[in-house]
Structure 1
Amino acid sequence: MVLKPPGPSPKAPNPAHNQDVVQQQQQHHQPNLSWSRHITLDLILLILANSIFHPWITLVFYLCLAAVHKHKEPLAYYTLYYTAFLAVVELSLWFDRRITHGRHRKVDWEGEVVVITGGACGLGRVLAEMVLRKGAKVAVLDVLEPDEEAREEMERWDLVWEVVDVSKAEDVKEAVERVVDGLGPPTILINNAAMPINGLPLLSPSSKELLASTLSPQQVTKTITTNALGHFTMLSVLLPHLLSSPQGAHIVTISSILSHLAPAKLADYNASKSAVSALHSTLCHELSTHPDPSVFHKVKTILVEPGQLSTQLFADITRVPFYTHFFGPVLEAKDVAKEIVRCVERGDGGVIRMPFYAKCVPFLGVMPGAVQRVVRWWSGIDRAIVTREKKA
């Protein structure tokens, strides 16, 4: 099935300008990093999780002891007890996931229709490319026109591209109707659209610079309208299709770990991501208490709250101490996308927080205030946002 790109919309921005914007956003030159930059806390924990903290690995170690007739040695007994403990932990975590998120749903990529907002660049673009190669049908909703590479993909795969502002309900409804006509009813929604970062404070360094250097209500409105209201709009239009899907559905919400941290100079972005995370939680509770119990098992939800990604969203406005890279490395979009696709492919729901520190951040809020202040000072998070570099 070959689908052609949609016709130009009278409300669409200048295509030539959009092509330049996409190319600028996709250009992300990374310096040659030394080998030491790849040594991070996450790498160490990954090695441990697949060695001494993995029940199958420790069981193999016990069997090795038994093979040399040392199964009655104290070390063998301790190894066996430790293996049993790890197995109990794994089983408990499995039961917790099943109670929290219900049974797995069967995912057949060739029968899935994936709608991705903000799929022109960054994480959304990577996700679109991944699920396309899995065999799924994909619809990208973005304010930007498709670039040359995207047009070639539309000739090769079942991909449609709708130029639409996701905060405008009527435009979204019309776009979704075209997607249904071209690809079929959507079964997976990935809410990813987001505005560029303003990086402006609420407080001005001096009264003379108040209007020029602080966040304006217009900027806040634009950010929250796209980042938060866009999620509401997509859900209101797509939920009827997702709930009625015979094979079940997935709703993936792309938020940020900053919704818990709320660093300085990101008031509008923090507020929008906090709203998105709260919206996702409400949706989960409504699904779990739905009058039809099958809905809870059929419709899976995934909340994604990553740390900083190596995209243009934060690239030129963040500066953090050198030592924080070990504890909070900058993520590659492809790594986050792989984890999302893996979770969907299992037919499971859940919460994805990457890297490891992101899993610990929600617990920071219950720490004493003095501890929180020390951690924030040490991490440099409230000093991380700097003035965006102006391009000539």
Structure 2
Amino acid sequence: MVARQQLPTHDSWFAPFSIDLVLKVFYVTFLHPFVAWMVVLCFRAEHMAWDAMPLRVSVAYAALVSAGWMLAAIDRRIALGPPRNVDSSDQVIVITGGASGLGLLIAEVYGMRGASVAVLDVKEMADSEARGVAFYRCDVSDKAQVIQAAVDIERDLGSPTVLINNAAIVNGKRLLDLDYDDIDRALSTNLASHFYTLKAFLPGIARSKLGGTIVTITSVLGELGAAQLSDYAASKAGVSALHRSLAAELRTSHPNICTVLVTLGQLSTPLFHGVQTPSSFFAPVVEPIDVAKDVISAIDNGRAESIGMPLYARWVGWYHVLPQSLQKVARWASGVDTAMATFVGRKAAADTASASKKGPAVKLD
């Protein structure tokens, strides 16, 4: 008898349709000053009088949209400071956890551009022949290995200009099911490693006359917490606090070093394999390529940034303003505390992929 093979499920045709997509379309149409003023010009092209109601409304709307864009630009400049000069031909980029997923995607982009890219990871790269990418086997939770990797990269590629702290692991267990090794490994990899890499690579970045960029990848779970993610959420909360403290220090001591904080919802990588989003419209799964585009843009333009994806990641701070009863309702509606029920994990995902390459199992009675 041939064992029945489970067919892979596919998202429906409207799965990419989300509130983030709607807002993205609005930002380049109805909420863009150019489009708003074009409406005014179209009315005037029809010789409409300035005191006509349609023209007065369109002028007021265009002025409001333009004011919103100007205030947003002023807010960004005050909050994040001016951009630094970037010499794209002389970049040395260090990426932790860059053997797969988001880290590998950013590494490959810069490698193809001709930048010097160093990937630190404990496992082999998914693409072992990525152009322009140097692989350094390194357990970032081990400070001795991080220090040695920093020495090797300085010798091989030169002083780093960009550090992207991307490495993370997920245990996906309830607190009572975590053993002490699980806790130590999670906090060391997800939190302590940021201290180790900053201590090892930041002095080299500071020596550069043009400065550099520090990118920190964190999660909305650092703000919210979630069942079966106590170790992960605690470490991500620490990472966010570390980044903000570092940014405050660098603003006074090294203003030519920019900091980029990337706060993500569920990312489409093996790290959370098996977890289902409760709503593809309000809480879409984030694709690594979308995150990579924003991170690369911030680095290339020498900007300090606070990036949040998807939409709720940019507004998650307001969650704590809600009354506790509404917070509880929001948690229930979002499914944040039940999402890990279908968690499979990176290792199981890799085993499944390996098994699928071998073909379906055949069982004979």
Give the TM-score taking structure 1 as reference length.
Answer: 0.83
Matched residue SS, 2:139: coil
| Pairing 1:310-325 to 2, within 5 Å after superposition | 310-316=268-274, 318-321=275-278, 324-325=279-280
Matched residue SS, 1:161: strand
Q: Name 1:202's counterpart in structure 2.
A: 175
Inter-partner Cα distance in structure 2 for 1:53 and 1:315: 36
Inter-partner Cα distance in structure 2 for 1:240 and 1:132: 23
Asked if the contact 2:121/2:140 (under 8 Å) is kept, the reply is yes
Q: Name 2:238's counterpart in structure 1.
A: 275
Inter-partner Cα distance in structure 1 for 2:117 and 2:217: 17
Inter-partner Cα distance in structure 2 for 1:59 and 1:219: 57
Asked if the contact 2:277/2:284 (under 8 Å) is kept, the reply is no
Aligned mate of 2:163, from 179, 189, 211: 189
What letter is aligned with 1:40? S
Asked if the contact 2:93/2:163 (under 8 Å) is kept, the reply is yes
What letter is aligned with 1:302? V
Q: Name 2:26's counterpart in structure 1.
A: 48
What letter is aligned with 1:267? S
* Aligned-pair CA distance for 1:136: 1.4
Q: Name 2:140's counterpart in structure 1.
A: 166
Asked if the contact 1:199/1:386 (under 8 Å) is kept, the reply is no
* Aligned-pair CA distance for 1:191: 0.4
| Pairing 1:212-231 to 2, within 5 Å after superposition | 214-231=177-194
Asked if the contact 1:199/1:387 (under 8 Å) is kept, the reply is no
Asked if the contact 1:251/1:302 (under 8 Å) is kept, the reply is yes
* Aligned-pair CA distance for 1:146: 3.9
* 1:179-219 C-alpha deviation (Å, 9 max, x unpaired): 11111100000001112x2111125xxxxxxxxxx122221
* Aligned-pair CA distance for 1:388: 4.5
* Aligned-pair CA distance for 1:37: 1.2
| 2:97 paired with 1:134 | no
* Distance 1:358-1:146 versus aligned 2 partners, 3 A rule: closer
* Aligned-pair CA distance for 1:352: 0.6
Asked if the contact 1:113/1:137 (under 8 Å) is kept, the reply is yes
| 2:87 paired with 1:108 | yes
Inter-partner Cα distance in structure 1 for 2:16 and 2:118: 35
Matched residue SS, 1:289: helix
Q: Name 2:101's counterpart in structure 1.
A: 122
Matched residue SS, 1:253: strand
Q: Name 1:246's counterpart in structure 2.
A: 209
Inter-partner Cα distance in structure 2 for 1:304 and 1:82: 32
Matched residue SS, 1:325: coil
* 1:37-72 C-alpha deviation (Å, 9 max, x unpaired): 122111111111111111111011111111111152
Aligned mate of 2:54, from 63, 75, 87: 75
Inter-partner Cα distance in structure 2 for 1:124 and 1:303: 15
* Distance 1:388-1:67 versus aligned 2 partners, 3 A rule: closer
Q: Name 2:286's counterpart in structure 1.
A: 331
Inter-partner Cα distance in structure 1 for 2:288 and 2:16: 16
Figure out how many residues of one structure are paired with residues of the other and give that number. Answer: 340
What letter is aligned with 1:303? L
Gaps of 5+ in 2: 1-6, 353-365
Q: Name 1:25's counterpart in structure 2.
A: none
Q: Name 1:303's counterpart in structure 2.
A: 261
Matched residue SS, 2:260: strand
Aligned mate of 1:378, from 333, 336, 343: 333
The percentage of counterpart residues that share the same residue type is 39
Inter-partner Cα distance in structure 2 for 1:245 and 1:274: 30
| 2:251 paired with 1:288 | yes
Matched residue SS, 1:115: strand
| Pairing 1:9-24 to 2, within 5 Å after superposition | none
Inter-partner Cα distance in structure 2 for 1:246 and 1:31: 52
Matched residue SS, 1:126: helix
Give the TM-score taking structure 2 as reference length.
Answer: 0.89
Asked if the contact 1:117/1:166 (under 8 Å) is kept, the reply is yes
Q: Please say which of residues 109-118 and 96-105 is displaced more in the overlay.
A: 96-105
Inter-partner Cα distance in structure 1 for 2:242 and 2:73: 26
Gaps of 5+ in 1: 1-28, 204-213
| Pairing 1:4-43 to 2, within 5 Å after superposition | 31-43=9-21
Inter-partner Cα distance in structure 2 for 1:134 and 1:340: 15
Runs of 4+ in 1 over 6 A off after TM superposition: none
Inter-partner Cα distance in structure 2 for 1:285 and 1:109: 26
* Aligned-pair CA distance for 1:275: 0.7
Inter-partner Cα distance in structure 1 for 2:281 and 2:124: 38
* Distance 1:309-1:103 versus aligned 2 partners, 3 A rule: same
Inter-partner Cα distance in structure 2 for 1:101 and 1:39: 31
Q: What is the root-mean-square deviation of aligned Cα atoms in Å?
A: 1.7
Matched residue SS, 1:382: coil
Q: Name 1:263's counterpart in structure 2.
A: 226
Inter-partner Cα distance in structure 2 for 1:112 and 1:372: 44
| 2:67 paired with 1:84 | no
| Pairing 1:352-371 to 2, within 5 Å after superposition | 352-371=307-326
